A and B are shown apart, each in its own frame.
Chain A
Amino acid sequence: METFLKVEQLSKTYVAGKPVFDGVSFGIERGEFVCIIGHSGCGKTTVLNVLAGLDQASSGHVFMDGREVLGPSLERGVVFQGHALMPWLTVRQNIAFAVRSKWPEWSRAQVDEHVCKYVKLVGLDSAIDKKPSQLSGGMKQRVGIARAFSVQPKMLLLDEPFGALDALTRGSIQDELIDIVRSTGQTVFMITHDVDEAIFLADRILLMSNGAQTAQGYVPGGIAEVVLNTLPAERKRAGLHHLDGYYELRNHIVDFLVSRAKPQDGH
């Protein structure tokens, strides 16, 4: 079977001769959950925006389902870092807004039924008619996730969705997310800073290094390593740290972040 999402030789240059990253190539299989981890400024968000079609790479191509990604599309749902809900709309209206974009021919009742289904999925039935400003950070991010899922995209792109949440809220939303992803077989690409989050959620973890000036000259950033998650697929967050191989995996990633992700710090 052909790889669902193919990224070929992506690079992004802001300052001539010093690309932020170069030669980024990877693939994502259908139904796979891939996390990308790296320090700030390595270009993770740019990679995600290129996949979403919101940004253009300086060179290289992205193909999804055999077709090149040239612009934003309803086939790729995005959950933004800062939830990006419309503050003048209620939760219901925010999700209905997305649903009407995907199925403009649907009746009002059809849209509403669909909206309710996805709001229930993230457990926000009681807050459906509230404005985002009346919700906590975690609830807002849940609405963002429900909105992205509601248009039933072929692929979901998450830009550090839990970055601004406290550890407890983060944990419970991670559980909800993985439940929905497993039950729908959704393909996901997610940015994170949190090593445990990556180990819990991802089937594969891409480690990305920053571009840096070294003794041999400028080295652009890129995918330094792809880590296959060897933990059992049906892992639970609660018992994660008791699983065999968890600490090896975690140490490997943390070592990478500490010593290899930023060459100028390592030497």
Chain B
Amino acid sequence: MNSSLRLKSSLLSLLILTVLLAVWQIATQPLLAAPTATVTLTPEQIEYQKMLGKDPAASSASAEAGKGAGFPTPMQMAQTIYKHLSDPLYDNGPNDKGIMIQLAHSLARVGLGFALACLAAIPLGFVIGMSPLLYRAFDPFIQVLKPISPLAWMPLALYTIKDSSISGIFVIFICSVWPMLINTAFGVASVRRDWLNVAATLELSAPRKAFEVILPAAAPTILTGMRISMGIAWLVIVAAEMLVGGTGIGYFVWNEWNNLSLTNVIFAVLVIGVVGMLLDLSFARLQKWVTYVE
């Protein structure tokens, strides 16, 4: 029953993909009538077209070579994907690096910013969650700071830190910190009274109570916060790198847009999606590992 459902859903997914590709193929079909138009043009008209920057001879030639300036066809896309994946690690200077190198830069920024956010948010969330006084005292700050777009911090970060790369990491830090802080505090504050009573009757020391009762009890909630944070961080890194420039997958997208290479832009968009999915899946794994059934 379950396996047949899985088979059916995979087949349906495959069908949807085929339909999408077919629509794409039809929509990007090169117009066969266009090149014949050059024949009817008078030399004056051709001259005029050239002055406008539209060389009819060149455009028909490029259309034949499959390098039309329009939206790429699925075949061209496949070629680009193959080209990038077959040589992911080349480095031809600042504006031409392999996709893995760009990804590595982005992942390193996200990893570093996220790790710093964990180090700050989880202990602080723990303290806030344990103390109703601090919970209330910190609440207005969290509520105000949380809805600020992380990119709004960018000018302040650039001004104070004076380093674009570290500013990018700071932006990741600031956007990751809130969901983790809130979830940790909530998870810690809502640990069941019974378990705390058990800890009390067993005369547990404060560190044992924190690490052996509260942490495992709140772990699923904390992990949920981390998963949300990672999702946001991966959304934000693309925008941050577009602003900051230099390296990274976000910069790659912007750079290829400036090159008017839509195939590369589409390829980068797909890569961003796949990597985001893998990050989310790994956190889903972790979450499953710490979740307990009551």
Contact = CB atoms under 8 A, between A and B. Distances in A.
Q: Please indicate whether A and B come from the same complex rather than being unrelated chains.
A: yes
B293 A131 contact: yes
Contacts of B195: 84, 86
Contact of B194 (A76, A77, A80, A98): A80
B203 A74 contact: yes
A54 B212 contact: no
A78 interface: yes
A246 interface: no
Interface in B110-152: none
A41 interface: no
Give the interface centre of A76, A88, A98 by most chain B CB atoms within 10 Å: A88
Given A88-B216, A97-B212, A80 B198 contact: yes
A82 B193 CA distance: 11
Interface string B181-205: 0000000000010110110111110
B159 interface: no
Classify chain A: how many residues form its interface, as a range. Answer: 20 to 34
B292 interface: yes
Nearest to B203: A74
B213 interface: yes
Contacts of A151: 202
A84 B202 contact: no
Contact of A54 (B201, B203, B219): B201
B203 A72 contact: yes
B214 to A, nearest CB: 11
A74 B200 CA distance: 9
B44 interface: no
A52 interface: yes
A213 interface: no
Interface in B280-294: 290, 292-294
A133 B201 contact: no
B294 A133 contact: yes
Contacts of A76: 201
Given A82-B194, A88-B292, A133-B294, A72 B212 contact: no
A245 interface: no
Give the interface centre of B192, B198, B219, B293 by most chain A CB atoms within 10 Å: B198
A115 to B, nearest CB: 14
B198 A84 contact: yes
A157 to B, nearest CB: 9
A97 B194 contact: no
Given A84-B194, A133-B292, A133-B293, A78 B216 contact: no
B203 A84 contact: no
Given A82-B194, A87-B293, A131-B292, A101 B203 contact: yes
Give the interface centre of A97, A98, A133 by most chain B CB atoms within 10 Å: A97
Contacts of B204: 101
A82 B198 CA distance: 12
Nearest to A132: B294
B292 to A, nearest CB: 4
Contacts of B192: 84
B197 A84 contact: yes
A265 B93 CA distance: 90
A97 B195 CA distance: 12
A97 B292 contact: no
A73 interface: yes
Interface string A209-244: 000000000000000000000000000000000000
Give the interface centre of B197, B202, B208, B294 by most chain A CB atoms within 10 Å: B202
A86 B197 CA distance: 12
Interface string A11-55: 000000000000000000000000000000000000000001110
Interface in A83-140: 84, 86-88, 97-98, 101-102, 131-133
A82 B294 CA distance: 11
A108 B142 CA distance: 44
A78 B292 contact: no
A97 B294 contact: no
Contacts of A102: 202
A189 to B, nearest CB: 14
Interface string A241-260: 00000000000000000000
B134 to A, nearest CB: 23
Q: Which 3 A-B pairs have the closest CB atoms?
A: A84-B194, A133-B293, A101-B202
24 contacts: A52-B197, A54-B197, A54-B200, A72-B197, A72-B201, A73-B201, A73-B203, A74-B202, A78-B197, A78-B201, A80-B194, A80-B198, A84-B194, A84-B195, A86-B195, A86-B198, A87-B292, A87-B294, A97-B202, A97-B212, A101-B204, A133-B293, A133-B294, A151-B202
Given A77-B201, A78-B197, A86-B216, 4 more contacts: A53-B200, A86-B217, A88-B290, A133-B294
